[in-house]
Amino acid sequence: MICFPDTSFLCALYRTQVSSARADQFMAGLSGTLGVSSLLLLEFRQSIRLQIRLHLNDRIKGFPQKEGQQMLNDLQIDLNAGLLTIIPVDWSAVHQRAEALSSAHTLAAGHRLADILHVATAIHLGATEFLTFDGNQRKLAEAEGLQVPA
């Protein structure tokens, strides 16, 4: 089974939260590497940097720079170790698929562009399983025939 994660899955791996145990359990049972796209890594890294900035401006928002930097470091360690592998993607083909997904689903369900792009990437790569803890993104992935673990 080919699986592809979204940003919520990576967040659960690299920052303790309610879904972290499920993400860790999935990774422990994975044989081989988890494929990721350059877009997924960009969104994940950007979200961490934004949370750090939010925390710097208001201590009740986001999370501290030390925590965010540790998340980035841990991600890079896993990339270097081969636990995560960047998979080349034909972005033109993904954008075409994303346009079709947007046309078919956004008016009814209100999907964000990044979510559409991650699902389109999974489909483009031939994934059969989509790893997400985002409820709306789960609906989109399932509507497109991807399995989403509970």
- Domains of the chain (ranges; CATH) run 3-143 (3.40.50.1010)
Q: Is the predicted pLDDT of residue 73 greater than 70, yes or no?
A: yes
Query: What is the pLDDT, as a whole number, of residue 124?
Result: 97
Q: CA nearest 76: which of 10, 9, 5, 2? A: 10
CA 124, chain centre distance (Å):
15
Model confidence pLDDT, tens digit, residues 91-126:
999 999 999 999 999 999 999 999 999 999 999 999
Query: What is the pLDDT, as a whole number, of residue 139?
Result: 96
In the chain, the percentage of residues whose pLDDT exceeds 70 is 99
Contact (Cβ atoms closer than 8 angstroms) between residue 94 and residue 112: no
In degrees, rounded to 5, the angle at the alpha carbon of residue 11 between the alpha carbons of residues 108 and 105 is: 10
d(CA 143, CA 106): 12
Q: Is the predicted pLDDT of residue 39 greater than 90, yes or no?
A: yes
d(CA 91, CA 87): 12
- What does pLDDT average to over the chain? 96
